[in-house]
Amino acid sequence: MQLPPEDTHCVIGTTLDKGHSRIDERKVVVTNKLDWLETREEWVGIKSMIEVTSKRICSSQTSCEKRYYISSKDWGPEEAGAAIRSHWSIENHLHWCMDVVFCEDASLANAMHAAENLAMFRRMAQALIQQDVGGTVGIAKRRREAMWDDTCALRILGRLFQMDIKSF
């Protein structure tokens, strides 16, 4: 692999978050000058490369990891870091709900299109329940209520006819 020369004009930004009994330190390195990259033609529209180094200190344990991104946009380190964190926040929230509330990881469905079909129904159920609850807190409770009480289930399913199907 070709290492970048010293004149790549890398811009560095750092953030430090404290909370939940841990310290999260992130270092974001961005370069928007990619003339040195021999393989840049392989990525149509590439404009920047980003390296994120995350260091987490929780109690007496420290973990560190690096992640790399390419982008079709020119970024500053603060802007790139915020966009990446925002993306992963959405991803983590959705996957947490699917894993914890709907036990998606425990599903053994793998015949034909069963896994895809069940995933679609889980996401549709989550959207309907979330709309009924008015947020994300209480989805598991409302799901249990719908299982035990037919009027609750019918109220939630009734929302399906009030929604634009394309929103799924």
What is d(CA 29, CA 81) in angstroms, rounded to the nearest whole number?
9
| % pLDDT > 90, the chain | 17
Residue 114's pLDDT is 85
Q: What does the DSSP 8-state code read for residue 61?
A: E
pLDDT tens-digit profile of 40-87?
A: 888 889 999 999 999 998 888 889 999 999 999 999 999 998 888 887
Length of the chain: 168
Fold of the 11-90 domain: S-adenosyl-L-methionine-dependent methyltransferases (2.20.130)
- Of 162 and 131, the structure prediction assigns the larger pLDDT to 131
Spans of all domains in the chain: 11-90, 104-167
48-58 and 61-71 beta bridge pairing: antiparallel
Non-local (6+) Cβ contacts of 152 within 8 A are 142, 145, 146
What is d(CA 10, CA 8) in angstroms, rounded to the nearest whole number?
6
Specify the pTM. 0.55
Question: What's the start-to-end Cα distance of the chain, in Å?
Answer: 42
